[in-house]
Amino acid sequence: MTSEITLSTAERLEAIEAIKWTFSERLRCMDAKEWHIYPTLHTDDMVSETWGGLPEDKQPDTDGEANHVVGPEALTAAIRGLLDGKFPVTTVHQAHTPQIVLTSDTTATGIWAMEDMLWWTNGDHEEHLHGYGHYHERYRKVGDKWLISYRTLVRIRVDQTPGFFDMIGKL
């Protein structure tokens, strides 16, 4: 794979818009719990390291490495287990001000400011989490579609109720 970019200006802009579309579709599918679509937005070798905000004993892992999930099906299962498990969690994810850089004709990186809000009912009261930070991602064009190949989440601030993580088992 060469790092030389041969795309025209119009093709570069089209690629960036396609990446934005994939990213925003991922957030919408997560909030709408469209688990049949979610894995199709990621490469087969996708790596997610977005679980660092969970207590370590509840973080998903791959081969014993916490906060590390490999593959779109494993990723979807982990997120589904968190948001759509025994205690369904209502979510709203928003992302803003993308900084997308094409690194070749078929690869790119992106940083997105993010905000997420999550709620679930714990007996007679509501638990919630409100987080702020940045997604750092890598993208790869597979066929004619831009897909997410890597993601990490760097949180700047999290406001949550003390019992927010009570409902989560090991993912």
Q: What is the CATH classification number for the domain harbouring 47?
A: 3.10.450.50
pLDDT (tens digit per residue) in 21-48: 999 999 999 999 999 999 999 999 999 9
Strands 107-122 and 65-66: unpaired
pLDDT (tens digit per residue) in 50-100: 777 777 777 666 777 667 788 999 999 989 988 998 889 999 999 999 999
In a domain, residue 69? The reply is yes
Phi/psi of residue 21, nearest 5 degrees: -60, -50
Could you tell me the pTM of the whole model?
0.91
Yes or no: say if 58 and 164 are a contact pair by the CB < 8 Å rule. Answer: no
Domain tally, the chain: 1
Q: What is the pLDDT of residue 50?
A: 79
| CA within 13 Å, CB half, 26 | 24
In a domain, residue 3? The reply is no
**Average pLDDT across the chain, whole number:** 91
In a domain, residue 123? The reply is yes
Confidence tier at 2 by pLDDT (50, 70, 90): low
Residue 104, pLDDT > 90, answer: yes
CA 164 → CA 94, 118, 126, distances in Å?
A: 20, 9, 9
In a domain, residue 90? The reply is yes
Contacts made by residues 92-100, CB under 8 angstroms, sequence distance 24+: 92/31, 92/116, 92/117, 93/27, 93/30, 93/31, 94/27, 95/23, 95/24, 95/27, 95/135, 98/19, 98/20, 98/23, 100/16, 100/19, 100/20, 100/139
DSSP 8-state symbol, 100: E
Whole domain around residue 62: which residue ranges?
9-167
CA 50 → CA 46, 70, 78, 103, 132, distances in Å?
A: 12, 12, 11, 23, 13
In a domain, residue 98? The reply is yes
In a domain, residue 124? The reply is yes
Phi/psi of residue 67, nearest 5 degrees: 60, 35
